[in-house]
Amino acid sequence: MALYLGLLVFSFIVNAVLVIPFINLLYKLRFTRRVEAPKTGKIPVFDKLHDKKAGTPVGGGILIVATVSILFALIFPLARYLGVYIRGAYDVTSEINIVFFTFLSFAFLGLYDDFSKLFRKMEPGKVGMWVGLRRKHKFILQWILALIISFLIYNNLSVDIVNIPLVDIVIDLNWLYIPFAAFVIVSFVNAVNITDGLDGLVSGLLLICLFAFWIITASVFDTPLSIFISLWIGALIAFLYFNIWPARVMMGDSGALAFGATLAVIGLLTGKIFVLVVVGGLFVIEVLSSAIQIAGRKFLGRSLLPMAPVHLFFQIKGWEEPKIVMRAWLAGLMLAIFGLWLALI
């Protein structure tokens, strides 16, 4: 555990040193949020609440993905060379390849979406102006990547079972594990992305989830995942310092998509799918509220909820942004404790 704690601190220091120059670079590249409200007509609630953040750099996730990937590529071989005992639940090389394919592929998808949002011409949408990739196109690409990753987990690591805690039931899904795992990945990709709407909300909740799975991976002696999560937590803490309200930098889709997908894969690799749903319970609530709202408008022609996602509902009720975020962190902490209890009993 001393090794993992040291790596966390080291990653924090590296990212703390780099984050301010990186923010300045984003300003120079004009990689900043722009006003999304239409110039005429009705202004959507989201734009009313969030267009004041225009001009804030977007793409903090790029730095985290880059530093975690580079540090892992340098530290993991060095740890082996120095005689650190490396143990994994699966073939170590295959496990690392799957984790980083997930981390990087979804980061590039998110980066393309961020670039489109910031530099492509805005088009009229069903509600206000539309920026970035079309929802349908992004959803298809997410499923393609998720199916590839799920196949690799099934084929290369021979994972095809799901464990239900408390009742201790093990379900052998066989090849059906592939669409099941892809569904989990796509769900958490969108859940994390949707939650990334308030300063510090998603990065704080991610930290809580990662601390829970850090304990789980350390308890089963999965060295690659433990090292990876250590570096990731350290980077997120440094980022969160500049992401809390009022944010000096935003995560962007480059981070949200990569982090949601990788969190889901960690849950799949540890065999803790249901624990993941509990630990990431607020992400689940956020994405369910949005799914219910979309379904209501598409099939019934009306909204089923006053506002979605949930954090936006509290904003229109008059809650201040920091209050929503802090209370979400507290709820996330209690869910993480409960999830850890389920994982370790």
**Span 255-293, pLDDT tens digits:** 999 999 999 999 999 999 999 999 999 999 999 999 998
Phi, psi of 152, rounded to the nearest 5 degrees: -65, -40
**pLDDT tens-digit series, residues 319-340:** 999 999 999 999 999 999 999 9
Q: Which of 66-75, 104-113, 210-219, 289-298 has the lowest mean pLDDT?
A: 289-298
Is the pLDDT at 146 greater than 80, yes or no?
yes
What is the rounded CA–CA span in Å between residue 248 and residue 57? 7
Distance, first Cα to last Cα, the chain:
21
What is the rounded CA–CA span in Å between residue 261 and residue 276? 12
What is the rounded CA–CA span in Å between residue 133 and residue 142? 12
Phi, psi of 244, rounded to the nearest 5 degrees: -70, 160
Task: Considering only residues 316 and 186, tell me which one the structure prediction assigns the higher pLDDT.
Answer: 186
What is the rounded CA–CA span in Å between residue 298 and residue 296? 6
Is the pLDDT at 3 greater than 90, yes or no?
no
Axis crossing angle, helix 135-156 with helix 177-195, rounded to the nearest 10: 130
Is the pLDDT at 50 greater than 70, yes or no?
no
Task: List, in sequence order, the alpha helices (H) in the chain.
Answer: 2-28, 45-50, 60-81, 92-119, 135-156, 177-195, 201-219, 223-243, 252-269, 273-279, 281-295, 310-316, 321-344
Is the pLDDT at 151 greater than 90, yes or no?
yes
Q: What is the pLDDT of residue 321?
A: 93
How does residue 193 score in pLDDT terms, banded at 50, 70 and 90? very high
Q: What is the pLDDT of residue 155?
A: 96
Under 8 Å between Cβ of 22 and 57: no
Average pLDDT for residues 178-200, to the nearest whole number? 96
Percentage above 70 pLDDT, the chain: 92
Is the pLDDT at 11 greater than 60, yes or no?
yes
Rounded to whole angstroms, what are the CA distances from 39 to 55, 128, 251?
17, 10, 26
Residue 85 CB partners (closer than 8 Å, separation 6+):
223
What is the rounded CA–CA span in Å between residue 201 and residue 326? 8
Is the pLDDT at 24 greater than 70, yes or no?
yes
Is the pLDDT at 245 greater than 70, yes or no?
yes
Q: What is the pLDDT of residue 167?
A: 77
Average pLDDT for residues 165-178, to the nearest whole number? 88
Closest CA to 90 of 159, 139, 143: 159
- Tokens 């803490």 appear where? 237
Q: What is the pLDDT of residue 34?
A: 80
Q: What is the pLDDT of residue 66?
A: 97
**pLDDT tens-digit series, residues 33-42:** 887 656 656 6
Q: What is the pLDDT of residue 46?
A: 63
The count of C-alpha atoms lying within 13 angstroms of the C-alpha of 338, restricted to the half-sphere facing its C-beta, is 12
How does residue 80 score in pLDDT terms, banded at 50, 70 and 90? confident
Residue 315 CB partners (closer than 8 Å, separation 6+):
49, 198, 321, 324
What is the rounded CA–CA span in Å between residue 86 and residue 127? 52
How does residue 134 score in pLDDT terms, banded at 50, 70 and 90? confident
Average pLDDT for residues 232-238, to the nearest whole number? 98
How does residue 316 score in pLDDT terms, banded at 50, 70 and 90? confident
Axis crossing angle, helix 281-295 with helix 177-195, rounded to the nearest 10: 90
